[in-house]
Copies of this chain bind each other. A is one copy, B any other.
């Protein structure tokens, strides 16, 4: 493998520098298709979030930004025809967000997908190391900041699998039914089991 020839990360300081460089590349990738980095982040989030989590507030928590900033990004996306907003019938303060067809057809042009291509050139041991290392680092950092993990139902303490029959689950927190499809998306209310 050529891949480990360039960088010799011997200590945490080197790892920190690599994290910075990685972040830079992601930001740079965010200028694809005439969008901005924050706009791509919002689209990616909405594509992965379950229906309870497709709101400006949840996106704000995910991004760690302020409400005002997220509001502006969402307005830009709405102007561009990439998201639709609708009122939440249960809570009229709240706004539901939905990707449009245009947004769905734009997702394959996400430049950060190039990282998946890069991973394909790595061997299985390196890929496994990446998953373990990133997972541990993110968990530690997000926990230290008091942020939300945004995980899947499968590892959530509120998940009650099959409580309404096969493939029909329940969220114990929101008291809402969950389909198999719901359970494969990330959730703003996620809490580790």
Q: Which residues of A contact B (CB under 8 A)?
A: 1-10, 12-28, 37, 41, 44, 48, 62-65, 112-122, 125-145, 149, 151-152, 154-155, 192-193
16 pairs from A and B in contact (CB 8 Å cutoff) = A3-B139, A4-B132, A4-B139, A5-B155, A7-B151, A12-B127, A13-B116, A15-B115, A15-B134, A22-B134, A24-B63, A27-B27, A28-B65, A118-B144, A122-B136, A130-B133
Decide if B115 touches A141 in the complex (CB within 8 Å).
yes
CA distance in complex: A140, B20 (Å): 16
Decide if B116 touches A8 in the complex (CB within 8 Å).
no
Decide if A126 touches B133 in the complex (CB within 8 Å).
yes
Identify which of B15, B20, B139, B193 contacts A26 (C-beta below 8 A).
B20
- Secondary structure at the A interface, as helix, strand, loop or mixed, is helix
Decide if B141 touches A130 in the complex (CB within 8 Å).
no
Name the distance in Å between A143's Cβ and chain B's nearest Cβ.
7
CA distance in complex: A141, B18 (Å): 12
Identify which of B18, B21, B117, B136 contacts A126 (C-beta below 8 A).
B136
Name the distance in Å between A146's Cβ and chain B's nearest Cβ.
12
Name the distance in Å between A13's Cβ and chain B's nearest Cβ.
7
Residues of chain B within 8 A (CB-CB) of A118 are 137, 140-141, 144
Residues of chain B within 8 A (CB-CB) of A24 are 41, 63-64
